[in-house]
Structure 1
Amino acid sequence: MQFHFNSWLVYFYFYCIFGWVFESTYVSLRTHKLTNRGFMKGPWLPLYGSGAILVLLVTLPYADHPVGVYFAGMIAATILEYITGVVMVKLFKVRYWDYSYKKIQFQGHICLSSSLAWGGLSLLMVYVIHPPIVKFIAMWNENVVNILTFIVTICMAYDFANAFREAMDLRALIIQAEELKKRMEEVVAEKREAFAETVEERREQFAQSVAESKEQLAESRERLAESLDERKEKFAETVSETRERIAESVAESKEQLAVRQQQWEKETAERQQRREEQAAERKEKRQETAAARKERIERSLAELTNASENLKKRMEEHSGQLLLHNPGASYFGMKEESGEIRRRLLERRKK
C-alpha cells in the first residue's frame, strides 16, 4: 500500500501521540502525579510530531551514514526547538521550557545537552523506531487508516483552535499584568521620591531656621555696637561741657536711646512675626500638598494591588494546563508571578 502525503500525515499523528505518551509518563513518574503534558488538552504533542517528521526528512540523504544522520538530526531539531520557543514567546508571551540554568545555552530556548540528545534521538528514530512503525502502519487497511486520520485531524484541529483561543486570552491577561506591574513600580518609585522630598524639606526648614537665628543674632550685635558708639560719642561731647550740660545731655541721651531701643524692639518683633507667619503658611501648604500626595499614592497602590489580585485569579483560570502540567513553563518576564500562581493552583488541587 502506497501512502504518499497521507503516510507522512499518519506518521505525524503517530509521533504526536507517541510524544504525548512519553512526556506524560515521564513527568507523571517524576512528580508522582498523573500529568497531561502539552499545549493542547488531547493526547498529542504537535512539537514531537513536527520534530519527528523534520528529522526523518532531513536525514533521508544520510540514511546510510549514521554520523550524517546524527548531525543532520541534531541541527534540524535544534533549529525547530529554537524557532518554536521564540514563536511561543512572541505570540503567546509564554515560555514552555527554559534552559537558562544550563551552562551552555542560548536565550533559554536551546542548550548543548539538549542538542546532543536530539542527535542521539535522531539515530534512534531513523534506525530503531521508525522502520517498525512503517511496517505496522502498512499492515492496516487503507480505508481504516484514512477514516482514523480524518477523525484525528478533526479532533486535533478542534483542540488546537480551543487551545489557541485560550492562549490568546491568556496573552491578553499577561499584557495587562505587565502593564499593571509597570504602573505599580512607578507608584512605588513615586512614593519613595515623596519620602525623599519630605526629608529634604525638613532639612531645608532646619537650615532656614538656623539662618534666621544667625541673622537675628547679627542684627542684635549690630544694634548693640551702634548703641555703644552713640553712648561713647555722647560721653565725649559732654566731657567738655558743664556738669549741668552733662546731666542734661545724659538724660537726653537716655531718652533717645530708650526711644530707639523701643523702636528697634518693635521692628524686630514685627519682622519675627512676619517670618513666623510666612513659615507657618509655607509649612501648612507643604503639609497639605504632602498629605494629599501621600493619600493619592496610597489610594493608587491599594487600587493596583486589588487589580493585581483580581488579575491573578483570572490568570489562574487560564493557567491550569500550562503551569500545572509543564513544571518548566512560565509567563515571559514574569517568573515570580508564574511561581505564585502555580503554588495557588497546587494548593487548590490539594483542597
Structure 2
Amino acid sequence: MLYIEHLFLWAVLYSFLGWVYESILVSIQERRPVNRGFLNGPLCPIYGAGAVLAIVVLTPLRNIPAAPVVMFLLGALGASALEYATSWTMERIFHARWWDYSHFRFNINGRICLIGAIVFGVFGIIIVDVAQPWVERWTAMIPMPAFHILAAVLALACLVDFIVTVVGFIGFHERLGEFTRLLERGKERMADRIDLGGALQQYTDAAADRLQTYRDAATGKVRRLSENLPDMPVPVPVTRLYGRLLGALSYQQRRMLRSFPRMTSPEYGDLIRKLREKLVRK
C-alpha cells in the first residue's frame, strides 16, 4: 500500500510538470496563454501515468548493457502506446479527438507521431536517471503521517476534479449536433430571402432585341447561384449565432475548446474550429 501511495504521489508530481511543459509549448505555438490539461487543476494525467510506467519498467534496466538505448526505445514505444490508447479511448467516450498529429510526418492515424515518440524516449531516460532519484529522496523526507494525509488529500482532489470535468463535458457531442441543425435552419432562412426571380427579371427587362440572350445569361446565373449556395460564406446574422452557441456551452466545454487547440470531431470538426475561433477572439 505504501508503494502505491508513492507511485500516486510521483504521478501527481509528474502530471504537474507535464502540465507546465504542455502549457508553455502550446502557448508558444498558439501565441496566446493556454491552460493546458484535461482536468481543471494544473495536471496532465497522461504525463503522470507515463512517468510512473517508465519508473516501474525502466528502472530495473539501468544497469544492463546498452541501457540508454534500451531505455530510450522502451520509453518511446511505451509512451506512444499509452498516448495512442488514451486518444482512442477518449474519442470513443466523448466522440472527440483531443489532439491531432496529422500535420506531422510519420504519424499513425494522427494519434501519435515520430517526433513525439523521440521526445518521450528522451524523457524516459531523464526521469529514471536524473529526476526520479531526487524525487525519491524528497518524498523520503516527508514524515509518514503527513505523507499519508498528503496522498489522501491529493487523491480526493483529483477524484473530485475528474468527476466535475467529466460531468461538465458530457453532452458536448449532442450539443454540437443541435448547433449544426440550428445553423442549417438559419442558412435555409437566409437562402429563402434571396430573390432569384429578381435576378432573372434584371436580365429579361433588357432591350427586346437581346431578350433571349439576356434570358439565357440570367438562367445560367441563377443556376450557378443555386449550385454554389451551400458553399457561400455564412451570412452575418448566422455568423452572430456562433456567439450565442458559445453561451449555450458549459464552462467545461468552453474550457476544453481553449485548452486543446487541435481538438476535433469526425462529424463536427468544422463547427468546433469556428466555435474555437470565436471563443479565442472574445
Percentage identity across paired residues of the two chains? 25
State the shift of 1:10 in Å. 1.1
Equivalent position of 2:146 in the other structure: 144
State the shift of 1:28 in Å. 3.8
Equivalent position of 2:108 in the other structure: 106
Q: Which of 42, 49, 70 is 1:68 aligned to? A: 70
One-letter code of the match for 2:106? I
State the shift of 1:19 in Å. 1.4
Q: Which of 311, 326, 330 is 2:260 aligned to? A: 326
- The answer to whether the Cα contact below 8 Å between 1:81 and 1:110 also exists between their aligned partners in 2 is yes
For residues 222-301 of structure 1, what are the structure 2 equivalents within 5 Å? none
- The answer to whether the Cα contact below 8 Å between 1:316 and 1:345 also exists between their aligned partners in 2 is no
User: Alpha carbon RMSD of aligned pairs, Å?
Assistant: 3.4
- The answer to whether the Cα contact below 8 Å between 2:80 and 2:112 also exists between their aligned partners in 1 is yes
Q: State the secondary structure of the residue aligned to 1:137.
A: helix
Tell me the distance in 2 between the aligned counterparts of 1:103 and 1:34: 26
Aligned CA distance change for structure 1 residues 138 and 317 (closer, same or farther; 3 Å): closer
For residues 84-95 of structure 1, what are the structure 2 equivalents within 5 Å? 84-95=86-97
Matching of residue 343 in structure 1 with residue 272 in structure 2: no
Equivalent position of 1:162 in the other structure: 164
Tell me the distance in 2 between the aligned counterparts of 1:115 and 1:28: 21
Aligned CA distance change for structure 1 residues 311 and 28 (closer, same or farther; 3 Å): closer
State the shift of 1:177 in Å. 4.7
Q: State the secondary structure of the residue aligned to 1:330.
A: coil
Q: State the secondary structure of the residue aligned to 2:170.
A: helix
One-letter code of the match for 1:162? V
* TM-score of the superposed pair, with normalisation by structure 1: 0.59
- The answer to whether the Cα contact below 8 Å between 1:166 and 1:318 also exists between their aligned partners in 2 is yes
Aligned CA distance change for structure 1 residues 93 and 29 (closer, same or farther; 3 Å): same
State the shift of 1:156 in Å. 1.0
Residue deviations 1:204-241, cap 9 Å, x none? Answer: xxxxxxxxxxxxxxxxxxxxxxxxxxxxxxxxxxxxxx
- The answer to whether the Cα contact below 8 Å between 2:168 and 2:250 also exists between their aligned partners in 1 is no
- The answer to whether the Cα contact below 8 Å between 2:176 and 2:271 also exists between their aligned partners in 1 is no
- The answer to whether the Cα contact below 8 Å between 1:12 and 1:50 also exists between their aligned partners in 2 is yes
Equivalent position of 2:233 in the other structure: none
Aligned CA distance change for structure 1 residues 138 and 150 (closer, same or farther; 3 Å): same
Residue deviations 1:290-315, cap 9 Å, x none? Answer: xxxxxxxxxxxxxxx79x85655424
Aligned CA distance change for structure 1 residues 113 and 3 (closer, same or farther; 3 Å): same
One-letter code of the match for 2:74? A
Matching of residue 117 in structure 1 with residue 51 in structure 2: no
State the shift of 1:172 in Å. 2.7
State the shift of 1:176 in Å. 3.9
One-letter code of the match for 1:329? M
Tell me the distance in 2 between the aligned counterparts of 1:146 and 1:97: 35
One-letter code of the match for 2:77? I
Tell me the distance in 2 between the aligned counterparts of 1:33 and 1:111: 24
Tell me the distance in 1 between the aligned counterparts of 2:2 and 2:252: 40
- The answer to whether the Cα contact below 8 Å between 1:170 and 1:318 also exists between their aligned partners in 2 is no
Tell me the distance in 1 between the aligned counterparts of 2:112 and 2:54: 17
- The answer to whether the Cα contact below 8 Å between 1:89 and 1:332 also exists between their aligned partners in 2 is no
Residue deviations 1:246-284, cap 9 Å, x none? Answer: xxxxxxxxxxxxxxxxxxxxxxxxxxxxxxxxxxxxxxx
Tell me the distance in 2 between the aligned counterparts of 1:68 and 1:20: 27
Tell me the distance in 2 between the aligned counterparts of 1:27 and 1:111: 17
Range that drifts further, 328-337 or 39-48:
328-337
For residues 180-199 of structure 1, what are the structure 2 equivalents within 5 Å? 180=181
Tell me the distance in 1 between the aligned counterparts of 2:30 and 2:102: 22
State the shift of 1:329 in Å. 2.1
